[in-house]
Amino acid sequence: MLGLDTYNGTPPPNRVELTSAADDIAIVSLIGEHDVSHYDSLKIVLARAAIRAPNVIVDLSECQFADSTAISLLLHGSRVITRYGGHLPSWCRRGRDPSRAWRNSAVSLR
């Protein structure tokens, strides 16, 4: 797991983590709340994920809130990764509504 926030003991409540599910699949997990203050860490982790694997899954199962900055960056990342033949789907835990994080965001996707 790669987290850009360095911490001792308890991880910060709002963070971005990068893990690998397979050689061709990287997972970017958004945990907690994400706004403009998390732009740089999210951008760096998405870039590292795209370099690591052609397919990047964005795990929103622990994301409580994402503002328009975070959503815009995810949408841009999806366009870039797709342009190079990869995929960037979002995922939530089984039994949870996958659009929950989007509905709780500061942007309407209608």
The 10s digit of each residue's pLDDT in 10-59 is 788 899 999 998 999 999 999 999 999 989 999 999 999 999 999 999 99
- Domain positions in the chain: 14-103
Is domain 14-103 classified as CATH 3.40.50.10420?
no
Instruction: Give the Cα separation of 106 and 103 in Å (integer).
Output: 8
| pLDDT score at 107 | 44
% of the chain surpassing 90 pLDDT: 45
In one-letter notation, the amino acid at residue 97 is D
- pLDDT at residue 106 tops 80: no
